[in-house]
Homo-oligomer: A and B are copies of this chain.
Amino acid sequence: MMRNKNELVKVTVNIFGEEYTIKGTEEPEYIERLAEIVDNQMQELHQKNPSLGISRLAILTALNLADQMGKLQEEYDRLSNQRKKRKDEKSLNPDNRIK
């Protein structure tokens, strides 16, 4: 059965041994996937630094995610600029130039 895209869903996920009920209009599988990403990164960091408390672990995980996003944003901007450049070159093509 198709889900209404604006329908609010409640999904309970487990991150680092604690339950979180997330409300949103996203697909439950998407929310579960996000929780898995956060949980995996926290577990990994915990294994490397077993003495870190949960709040520091979570903040460092958030920092890592912000870093991953920053790098993806750079890649995105690079791709998007290449595209813009090609478009500009096209519009400077002699055939299209105002005479």
Contact = CB atoms under 8 A, between A and B. Distances in A.
Interface in A37-71: 37-38, 41-42, 53-56, 58-63, 65-70
A8 interface: no
Interface string A27-43: 00010011101100110
Which one of A18, A33, A72 has the greatest number of beta carbons of chain B within 10 Å?
A72
Contact of A66 (B18, B34, B54, B76): B34
Contacts of A37: 66
A72 B62 contact: no
How large, as a class, is the contact surface on chain A?
Answer: 35 or more
A92 interface: no
Contacts of A79: 76, 79-80, 83
Interface of A: 15-16, 18, 20, 22, 26, 30, 33-35, 37-38, 41-42, 53-56, 58-63, 65-70, 72-73, 75-76, 79-80, 83
